[in-house]
Amino acid sequence: MDVCGCPPERLKDTAALAALFEELIVLMELKVVGQPQWHVFPEPGGITGLTLLAESHLAVHTFPEHGFAALNVYCCRTRKRPDFEALLARHLGAASCRVRELPRGVEA
């Protein structure tokens, strides 16, 4: 997902990003493996976050200087799609969100 129009302070807030991940994990019934990892870059940089899942991973890269975040929700099994636009507006203050879904799997 490409997330645009976010207030820079939200994109520098590890707690806001962690809350977004937690809500996605609950809504999508994902299983976390290990502890989430967060790397905070020096100013004016943002944050990179990664949560390893039994199903694959969640990752986010924020660019506060551009009001932009890239979020990946990678699952090896089909899950119910949450309202990503509403979640990202609530957690990151996103003005817009472009969701791209790519079906994955082995063709028989």
pLDDT in tens, 57-90: 999 999 999 999 999 999 888 788 899 999 999 9
Query: Is residue 108 pLDDT above 60, yes or no?
Result: no
Nearest one of 23, 77, 78 to 51, comparing CA atoms:
23
- Would you place residue 38 in the very low, low, confident or very high pLDDT band (cuts 50, 70, 90)? very high
Told to judge if 96 belongs to the known catalytic residues of this protein, a careful annotator would answer: no
- Per the prediction, the chain carries an average pLDDT of 93
Assessment of whether the complete model's pTM goes beyond 0.85: yes
Which one of 56, 57, 66, 75 is the catalytic residue? Answer: 56
User: With 0-12 CB in 10 A as exposed, 13-18 as middle and 19+ as buried, what is 41?
Assistant: middle
Respond yes or no: is residue 76 known to be catalytic: yes
pLDDT at 106: 61
pLDDT at residue number 76 = 81
Torsions phi, psi for 67 (to 5 deg):
65, 30
* Active-site residue identified among 4, 61, 66, 75: 61
Catalytic (active site) residue 6: no
- Predicted local distance difference test score (pLDDT) of residue 105: 67
Q: Where are the alpha helices (DSSP H) in the chain?
A: 8-11, 14-27, 84-92
Q: Residue 66 gets which letter from DSSP?
A: G
